[in-house]
């Protein structure tokens, strides 16, 4: 498997554990600066801190919205988005309404995404839609990708990392095939080593969400 140039720029360096402390976020941001990762991905309460720590750098700040279930009110997701972007979030990783998708309420799913996309775009931010692929059939994944593209999302993303499974090469390839060049694909959840990272990129991932980014980069540098 071939190595990838500038692998560091594939990573959203992620810390979303509920027990994460301010000290942990400071360490996350310091690592992101050291390795020049694409972004850090944090919970909403740490957006302002991360933005201040990364000010003046190329490292962006991503925030999760409706996380990790996606089952909150659309209005709540919209508020979270506007609030977080106002504090410096550059990217919004939102969880779609999985139940609504499985029930075939496609307009509700699309409107849920669109409400976040609209407010993000007003703040010059982009949106990644987390599908939670481990809970979906291939047909549902395809439909979720199509709805995300129709709503104007910049990315579709595999997983929260908090459900029954994470990213798989099969799901990444399916998402890549479905969105084509209309959106990008982010693989996240359970990506802990270099081999898995390269497999996801080979399958079509444009971005990798991982908490093990530093360990992966150290393995990459030894190749």
Catalytic center residues: 93, 157, 186
Between the alpha carbon of residue 207 and those of residues 28, 99, 149, 186, the distances in Å are 18, 26, 17, 5
* Residues 27, 53 contacting (CB under 8 angstroms): no
4: exposed, middle or buried (Cβ count in 10 Å: 0-12, 13-18, 19+): middle
CA angle 199, 202, 205 (to 5 degrees): 95
Cβ atoms 211, 197 nearer than 8 A: no
Which are the contacts of 74, defined by CB distance < 8 A and separation ≥ 6? 111, 112, 115
| Neighbour count for residue 222 (Cβ, 10 Å) | 7
With CA atoms as reference, report the closest residue to 36 among 63, 10, 9. Answer: 9
* Burial profile 51-74: b = 16 or more Cβ within 10 angstroms, e = fewer: bebbeeeebbbbbbbbbbebeeeb
Q: SS3 for 214?
A: helix
């Amino acid at each position: 498997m071939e190595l990838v140039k500038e692998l560091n720029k594939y990573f959203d360096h992620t810390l979303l554990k509920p027990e994460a402390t301010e000290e942990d976020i400071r360490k996350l941001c310091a690592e992101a600066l050291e390795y020049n990762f694409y972004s850090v991905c944090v919970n909403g309460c740490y957006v302002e801190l991360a933005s201040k720590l990364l000010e003046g750098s190329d490292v962006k700040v991503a925030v999760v919205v409706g996380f990790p279930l996606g089952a909150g009110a659309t209005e709540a997701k919209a508020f979270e988005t506007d609030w977080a972007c106002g504090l410096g979030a550059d990217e919004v990783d939102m969880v779609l309404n999985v139940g609504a998708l499985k029930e075939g309420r496609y307009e509700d799913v699309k409107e849920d995404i669109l409400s976040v996309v609209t407010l993000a775009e007003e703040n010059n931010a982009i949106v990644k839609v987390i599908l939670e692929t481990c809970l979906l059939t291939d047909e549902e994944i395809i439909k979720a990708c199509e709805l995300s593209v129709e709503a104007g999302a910049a990315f579709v993303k595999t997983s929260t990392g908090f459900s029954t499974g994470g990213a798989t090469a099969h799901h990444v390839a399916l998402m890549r095939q479905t969105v084509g060049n209309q959106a990008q694909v982010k693989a996240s959840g359970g990506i802990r080593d270099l081999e898995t990272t390269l497999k996801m990129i080979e399958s079509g991932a444009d971005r990798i969400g991982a908490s093990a980014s530093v360990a992966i980069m150290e393995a990459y540098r030894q190749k």
